[in-house]
Amino acid sequence: MSYRKVRVFLISTAILAVLLGTAASRAQEPAQQPDKPAGVQTPEQTRHRADGDRHGLPLETFAVTPGTKFLVSLQEELSTKGTQENSTFTVKTLEPLEAGSGFYLPSGAEIQGHISRVEPAGVAGRAKLWLTFDEIHTRFGDLPIVAEVVSVPGDHSVKPVPNQEGLIQGRTSTQENAAAAAAAGAAIGAAKGVKDKDKKEAAEGAALGAITAYLMESGRGHELNLPKGAKLELELERALYLVKE
């Protein structure tokens, strides 16, 4: 083999070795992940159970915003009959409370409240109950909460009153009940005239009895009763911060 051929062979061999070494080095490098757009979280980072620590993040990160609605379950019976003002009660959350950043408080948290005012139905009024929610108990401490009842799912005898914070009231009697009462009143009112065989007196008595019974029944409300386990839908009036300062 001539010197020229040997030289070409050596140069070719060296170039081949360099190329093979570069390819092997690249094969050992970890695959690069595509760039993640700013603010996008991976699935395991989407939701975090709040532990009361800010972890150096802004307070707003842990805010459950005003207007958030969630269901709770009443832990004892409440009624306008026999319930005293300032009596305490407890509800338990049936849904997680989530901040916009993904931090959340699991369902099952207890909220302590008290009865701020009670109005029994009486003879001609609607039963009314004012509920005030004071604090929510978490594993990392008690947090102040401001919320009001916006609905009582499944119970058509009770309704919240818009623009009157914390007030729920019973409904008045139906027109069917009032009509039935009027018929009964007419029969009672006519009884004396029938007994005395006085048609005019019977008619007047029936009319008076019907009107009196109708007015009493149509204006009379029923006591408001919320049994243990009743569901209430609450709405936050102020932000709830899932941190313990």
CB burial string 101-123: b at 16+ within 10 A, e below: bebbbeeebebebebeebbbbee
62-118 tens-digit pLDDT: 999 999 999 999 999 999 888 889 999 999 999 999 998 899 999 999 999 999 999
Q: Which residue has the tokens 């009940």?
A: 177
Res 116: pLDDT: 93
Rank 41-45, 143-147, 201-205 by mean pLDDT and report only the highest.
Answer: 143-147
Share of the chain above pLDDT 70, in %: 54
Which fold does the domain 47-172+223-241 belong to in CATH? Answer: Lipocalin (2.40.128)
Question: What does the alpha-carbon distance between residue 237 and residue 151 come to, in Å, rounded to a whole number?
Answer: 15
Closest by Cα among 51, 65, 158, 60 to 106: 51
Spell out the residues 6+ positions from residue 184 whose beta carbon is closer than 8 angstroms to its own: 213
- Return the CA Rg of the chain: 37
> What residues does each domain of the chain span?
47-172+223-241, 175-219
- 43 versus 12: the higher-pLDDT residue is 12
* pLDDT digit string, tens, across residues 40-54: 444 444 789 999 999
pLDDT at residue 158, rounded to an integer: 65
